[in-house]
Chain A
Amino acid sequence: MAGFVLRRLGTMAITMFAVSVLVFLLLEISPGSVATKVLGPYSTDEQRTLWLEAHGYFQPLWVRYGDWLWNFVNGDFGESVRFKVPVSEILWPRLANTAILGLVTFAVMIPVSLVLGVVAGMREGSRLDRAISVTSIVTTSVPEFASAVFLSAVFVFWLDWLPGTSGMAEGFSFRELILPVLVLVIYDMGYVARMTRASMADVMTTPYIRTAILKGLPYGRVIVRHALRNALIAPFTVIMLQINWLLSGVIVVEFFFAYKGFGALLLEASLNQDIFVIEACAMVAVFVAVATQTIADVGYAFLDPKIRFG
């Protein structure tokens, strides 16, 4: 088990290294364009040369990459071109906001989708199962921005129950969180529910469940004590991998509702060519994605007795 965890951590480190090379090459391969982005399109050649000189851009590519990586690992992400402050000063508060959004989304999405998936998978092919399956296809077909539009049209424009933006201008407000969370939950729920359903339906056909039912145990007890324990292993992995999807979803939702989160920051930075903010956001996003993938793999191995004792 310890060897497995170490191997997974090693893979994670290698992946992060490769990602950092990719991000660096994509954004910084040509020093001239970096200088233009930092100093603006109306800077003179002389200004750009001076800036490049002062920031060590005339060194070979691999030296520049080494310096960049070293600063990055030490938490120095450079300075935002647009806000003229260190990137970390903007990044961490934004990331905290997104973490709140993500946590609330998961707190709602996980119980709802697990219950739906289990109920649907308990009696495969029943009318309830069909209804839940069709609903989950529909909800995963509606892109996040579309359900944001639909929900706003109903709850903001028509009923006027909820605020249409979530800028949190007067401090934290739970009401402003409702629509963004709802949009994310609707989109992600279908997939988790379908995976849970498949896993549950699989377990329900195993001989040990049939035995438990035939020996006369109450049906509820068979579900809770026997079926769920095995049926919920696969959804655990799916839910962890869902964090990767959520990182895409928050970009759309934060942009739509003007929520001051990490995804909106990445998008604003890329629309404004704020290069060091883009780099920092991209690296943080991939780090979160890779870390959750690693946790999913290790957790799966830990939960599944076949692997744990194997």
Chain B
Amino acid sequence: MNQRMPSAPARDSAVRRAVRRVALLRESPVAMIGAGIVLFWVLVAVLAPLIAPFEPNATFYPYARPGAGHAGGGTFWLGADMIGRDILSRIIWGARTVLIYAPLATFSAYVLGILMGLAAGYKRGWVDEVLSRLGDVLLSFPVLVLYIIVIATVGASGVNIVIAITVAGAPGVMRIVRGLTLEIGSRDFVAAARIRGEAAWYIMAVEILPNARGPLIVDACLRLGYVTITIGVLGFLGLGLPPPDADWGSMINQARGVAMAFPHMTVFPCIAISSLVLGFNLLADGLREISLRD
């Protein structure tokens, strides 16, 4: 019970430590720019109902060019699509979709990958052998081929996309965690914990994992960017979330046929997704720079 309820001063110092860690970002302009872009999209996603000028799924004025006015008031700043939905509003709501699914899928890939990596790196022996071989097999697939055959089999839906990304992403996380676990597992404080008679799960979760967090945070940022691309690609290929809800990749897929005549329908969602991925990648690059400096 006591473990679950930290006393007040402990919580205070944890908050302060977190603040200090975020303040570290100031040391790298690259990380600051990345964090700024990501924060921008997070705000857009959170405030979507307040800032979107139109209903994202309502149809108004098909093929409206950017800047065209709406008879009932308001302007289609980025134009409208083939069935007259406002593109700016759909991009704003689409930020929600991607910022829900990308972190969710990345997180679940991390949970599975961390469990597998800790087990492989700490237990070693046949556990390591089996998990590593399994990971090698999954990693030998060109990743989009794996997504396509999994989604073609189980069908396209939000849950299935998260499952597919988890299965395809976990082996990569496992490799990193396994390597870190092998390295940290040979340190004295782990040996001390073992002599104290701590359980294996305790050593893995409390002694090893917190000491592996640095490289994992950098990798998580890169992976978030990559998962964002993946969700966009699946939408673009027609294997994404079912319509009509706004999702950047699907917007591009739906407008593909008329994109040569009305490029605004595809260009703006592409700018949105590219900037978000760039934000994650810059953040990862900056964080790596900061961690190398210490």
Residue A157 is within 8 A (CB to CB) of chain B in the complex: yes
Q: Is the pair A137, B277 in contact by a Cβ cutoff of 8 Å?
A: no
Contact of A145 among B148, B151, B232, B263 (CB under 8 A): B232
Contact of A141 among B149, B225, B233 (CB under 8 A): B225
Interface string of B124-166 (1 = CB under 8 A from A): 0000000001001100111111001111110000000000000
Q: Is the pair B145, A156 in contact by a Cβ cutoff of 8 Å?
A: no
Contact of A137 among B136, B252, B261, B282 (CB under 8 A): B282
What residues of chain A lie closer than 8 Å to B153, measured between beta carbons? 26-27
The CA of A23 and the CA of B274, in the complex, are separated in Å by 33
Q: Is the pair B236, A247 in contact by a Cβ cutoff of 8 Å?
A: no
Contact of B137 among A22, A137, A164, A267 (CB under 8 A): A22
Which partner residue on chain B sits nearest A133 by CB separation?
B285
Q: Is the pair A19, B237 in contact by a Cβ cutoff of 8 Å?
A: no
Q: Is the pair A145, B236 in contact by a Cβ cutoff of 8 Å?
A: yes
B136 to chain A, nearest CB (A): 6
Residue B53 is within 8 A (CB to CB) of chain A in the complex: no
Q: Is the pair A285, B141 in contact by a Cβ cutoff of 8 Å?
A: yes
What residues of chain A lie closer than 8 Å to B150, measured between beta carbons? 26
Q: Is the pair B149, A244 in contact by a Cβ cutoff of 8 Å?
A: no
Q: Is the pair A19, B141 in contact by a Cβ cutoff of 8 Å?
A: yes
Q: Is the pair A252, B140 in contact by a Cβ cutoff of 8 Å?
A: no
Q: Is the pair B142, A285 in contact by a Cβ cutoff of 8 Å?
A: yes
A298 to chain B, nearest CB (A): 16
Residues of A bordering B, CB below 8 Å: 14-15, 18-19, 22-23, 26-27, 137-138, 140-146, 149-150, 152-153, 156-157, 164, 244-245, 247-248, 251-252, 255-256, 266-267, 270-271, 273, 278, 281-282, 285-286, 289-290, 293
What residues of chain B lie closer than 8 Å to A256, measured between beta carbons? 256
What residues of chain A lie closer than 8 Å to B106, measured between beta carbons? none
What residues of chain A lie closer than 8 Å to B237, measured between beta carbons? 251-252, 255, 267
Q: Is the pair A142, B277 in contact by a Cβ cutoff of 8 Å?
A: yes
What residues of chain B lie closer than 8 Å to A164, measured between beta carbons? 260
The CA of A270 and the CA of B274, in the complex, are separated in Å by 27
Which partner residue on chain A sits nearest B134 by CB separation?
A18
A137 to chain B, nearest CB (A): 5
A229 to chain B, nearest CB (A): 27
What residues of chain A lie closer than 8 Å to B266, measured between beta carbons? 149, 153
Residue B281 is within 8 A (CB to CB) of chain A in the complex: yes
Q: Is the pair B282, A15 in contact by a Cβ cutoff of 8 Å?
A: no
What residues of chain A lie closer than 8 Å to B136, measured between beta carbons? 15
Q: With A142-B274, A149-B266, A153-B263 in contact, is A252–B236 under 8 Å at CB?
A: yes
Most chain-A Cβ atoms within 10 A of its Cβ — which of B133, B148, B256, B282?
B148
The CA of A190 and the CA of B136, in the complex, are separated in Å by 25
What residues of chain A lie closer than 8 Å to B143, measured between beta carbons? 248
Contacts A15-B140, A149-B266 supplied; 19 other A-B pairs, CB < 8 Å: A19-B137, A23-B149, A137-B281, A137-B282, A137-B285, A143-B232, A143-B270, A143-B277, A145-B233, A145-B270, A146-B232, A146-B271, A146-B273, A150-B270, A153-B267, A244-B140, A251-B144, A255-B237, A273-B152
Q: Is the pair A18, B137 in contact by a Cβ cutoff of 8 Å?
A: yes
The CA of A23 and the CA of B252, in the complex, are separated in Å by 30
